[in-house]
Structure formats: structure tokens, C-alpha cells
Amino acid sequence: MADDVQKLPVTPEDPVSLEKIPQLIWSLLGEAVTDKGHPFRTPVIATSNKHGPEARIVVLRRIDAERRHLECHTDVRSGKISQLTGDDAIAWVFYDAAQKIQVRARGVARIYNQDEYSHTRWTAISEHQKREYAQALPPGKKIGQEAAHYRRQSDADPESGRGNFAVISSCIHELEWLQLAREGHRRALMVFADQRWSAQWLMP
């Protein structure tokens, strides 16, 4: 699919290729969920707290192109959860260094924790991942030097992490695609309104 993006004509006047971009982006994101080596697999998500923006890497766990959903997993005790509880606006940034493609996605986040949906997703993750959520100390907790080499308690019952496991699901209403190329950079903005994506070229 990355090749298809490459094949898009450079001419910004071409409305067909512009129209294709949302579909291509969702295809690339879908590939990133299943392909562990995909450059879009580990995006940055940005949230806001009262002091300003916060950004960090996550793993893209699931997408739903039709519902415009992007999902990642996290510990409910992490800072990003309290930030999203205060302000549900979320931004994602994906970057493919080889193709020089940046995709930005803006949306509204919803948190699932200790509910039917989070339990469904919990059953889909590995024992190894479950143990990450079974840590006694919350993420970001200040610890001493000896504990800095903190190792997961290998005997932690993975099931004890279930309550800490959260899914951040975000519904995306804006996508921005930028490709840098010697023959000319291309930047397009896609806005979802009236049940459809409309696309517009932007000055790169």
C-alpha cells in the first residue's frame, strides 16, 4: 500500500488522488496494527494538561476505518488517562522515515476500563503484556536508585493487571498527510463532516 501512496501523481490539481488519500491512510494504519515492523506501528499521541501539551510514544493496537477509530492500550494509572479525563482532545502523529511521510490525526478520546469492551481487548493480549499491568507501583511513580533497575515480578499473576488495563479509543475527525519529496512536497488535509471525508491540498 505504501507503493500506492508513492504512485499518487504529484499534481495537486488531480482530484482523484486527493480523494484517495483518506482511504490510503486508513490502509497504512491497518497494516501497522498487524505488521510489527511497520513505521506507523509506534505513533506519538499528544494530550493536554493544565500546564500544557504532553506527548509520548504508544503502540497502535487497533483501527476501524469505517468508524474512524484508532486505539492504543495503557495503564489506567498513567498520566495520559488523567489528562484525557480532563480534556478528551487527542492528536496522533505517525512517521515513516523511509518514505518521508507524516500523518497527523486529530480526534476525541474515550477511555474503556473495567468494562465490557476493555475485558474483550484484555482477552486478546498476551500473558507478557498482561504482566505489564500487574505492577504494584503505578507508572510515573518516583522510585529510588536501587529500584531504578526495576524488574517485572515474574511471579505476578497476569490476571491481577486486568483492573489497570485501559483502552484509549479515539474517533478521528481530521487527518493531515505530508510527504516530502525532491520533486515537490505534498500536504493534504482531510476533514470528516456530513458523513464523508473531504480533502484539501495545503501549502506544505
Ligand X SMILES: Cc1cc2nc3c(=O)[nH]c(=O)nc-3n(C[C@H](O)[C@H](O)[C@H](O)COP(=O)(O)O)c2cc1C
**Contacting residues toward ligand X, per CB under 6 A:** 42, 54, 56-59, 72-74, 78-80, 139-140
| Separation in Å, CA 107 to CA 90, 124, 137, 157 | 5, 25, 30, 35
Torsional sign, CA 97, 40, 93, 99: positive
Minimum gap (Å) between residue 44 Cβ and ligand X: 8
Minimum gap (Å) between residue 95 Cβ and ligand X: 13
DSSP state of 138: P
Q: Which is nearer to ligand X, 17 or 74 (CB)?
A: 74
Rounded distance, CA 177 to CA 21, Å?
8
Q: Which is nearer to ligand X, 12 or 139 (CB)?
A: 139
CB 96 within 8 A of CB 39: yes
Minimum gap (Å) between residue 111 Cβ and ligand X: 12
Minimum gap (Å) between residue 24 Cβ and ligand X: 24
Q: Which is nearer to ligand X, 68 or 73 (CB)?
A: 73
